[in-house]
Every structure is written in structure tokens, then in C-alpha cells.
């Protein structure tokens, strides 16, 4: 049985994800999803990562965090991690679709939920292994924050894209 605290942290993540997917649905319904998903907001002399990259970055983070950092194995989807994990360069030349985003988010998060759903409450404040500097509790909270942060970046990029369409 999943502890209340772990269940709460996973429920919080599921809520954040539902907002992420709602934004993706809004983008699809707008009718210009390819343009919107690859729009890069200019900030001074640089450009921010596009919405498609931000969303797939979250998927890549779950693959990398679970497999490399926690399980000390290889990632499941090397191409996803190479193109969208931290350290990769956001590029609009790799075209993504809403279906791809949904599939990758589901694949990587399902394994993450499964892993943490089987964690014992007494292990929550333990480190997964000596080579990692965060407890299981820290990891759950950081990954919730991480997805919420990227949700905000996607939202501001989406709002900017829509505003520029009316100019």
C-alpha cells in the first residue's frame, strides 16, 4: 500500500500533468499546433526553448532521473534524452506532434509512478544509493517543481504566440 505522503506527492504531480495536458489540448484546438509547439520566444538577443521542447524535456527528465540516477541503468529512450534532456540544445528543426508529446510523457511517467508507488514510507528520507545527493522525498518534490516550472514556461510562450498572431 502506498503511504499517504507518497500518494499525495504523486497526486500533486498528476494534477500538474493534467494542467500540462490541458495546455497541449488548448494548443491543438487553436489550429496551429505545429507553429505553436515550435515557436521560440525572443528574450533580448536569445530565444527561449519552444513548447514542444519544454514538454519533451519533462519526459526526458523522468527517463533519465529514474533510469540513470535511481536505478543506475541506461535510459529507455536514448533519442528522447539526447534531444530533450538537460544539456541538449532546443531546436525547432526537430518537429514534434501533440501525439508524440503525450506518448512520451505517458511512457516515462508511468515507470516513475510505478517506481514510487512501490516505495516504502520508511525509505522516503533515505538516499537511493551512496552516489546520489537527494533523498526519495527530495526527488519527488524536485520533479513536481520541475514540471510546474516548465508548465509556466510553456504557458508564457503560448500566450506570447497567441498575442503575436493578432498583430
- Closest Cα to residue 162, out of 21, 17, 23, 20? 23
Q: What confidence score (pLDDT) does residue 2 get?
A: 66
Map out the domains of the chain with their CATH numbers.
48-165 (1.20.120)
Q: What confidence score (pLDDT) does residue 1 get?
A: 62
Residues of the chain with pLDDT under 50: none
- Residue 92, helix vs strand vs coil: coil
DSSP for residue 49: P
Phi and psi for 134 in degrees, rounded to 5?
-130, 145
Q: What confidence score (pLDDT) does residue 94 get?
A: 86
Q: Which three cell numbers stand for residue 136?
A: 526519495
Q: What confidence score (pLDDT) does residue 158 get?
A: 96
- Closest Cα to residue 2, out of 108, 111, 112, 114? 114
Give the span between the Cα atoms of 40 and 37, in whole angstroms: 9
pLDDT of 137-157, one tens digit each? 999 999 999 999 999 999 999
Q: What confidence score (pLDDT) does residue 153 get?
A: 94
Q: What confidence score (pLDDT) does residue 3 get?
A: 85
Give the span between the Cα atoms of 19 and 42, in whole angstroms: 24
Listed in sequence order, the DSSP H helices in 31-135 are: 33-37, 51-64, 78-84, 98-117
Q: Which three cell numbers stand for residue 67?
A: 533510469
Amino acid at each position: 500500500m502506498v503511504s499517504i505522503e507518497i500518494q499525495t506527492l504523486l497526486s500533486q504531480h498528476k494534477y500538474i500533468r493534467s494542467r500540462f495536458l490541458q495546455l497541449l489540448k488548448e494548443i491543438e484546438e487553436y489550429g496551429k499546433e505545429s507553429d505553436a509547439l515550435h515557436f521560440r520566444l525572443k528574450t533580448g538577443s536569445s530565444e527561449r526553448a519552444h513548447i514542444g521542447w519544454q514538454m519533451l524535456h519533462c519526459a526526458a527528465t523522468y527517463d533519465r532521473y529514474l533510469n540513470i540516477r535511481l536505478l543506475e541503468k541506461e535510459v529507455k529512450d536514448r533519442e528522447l534524452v539526447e534531444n530533450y534532456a538537460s544539456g541538449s540544445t532546443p531546436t525547432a528543426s526537430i518537429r514534434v506532434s501533440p501525439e508524440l508529446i503525450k506518448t512520451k510523457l505517458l511512457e516515462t511517467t508511468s515507470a516513475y509512478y510505478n517506481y514510487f508507488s512501490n516505495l516504502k514510507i520508511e525509505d522516503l528520507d533515505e538516499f537511493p544509493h551512496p552516489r546520489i545527493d537527494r533523498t526519495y522525498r527530495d526527488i519527488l518534490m524536485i520533479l513536481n517543481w520541475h514540471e510546474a516550472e516548465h508548465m509556466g514556461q510553456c504557458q508564457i510562450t503560448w500566450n506570447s504566440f497567441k498575442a503575436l498572431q493578432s498583430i
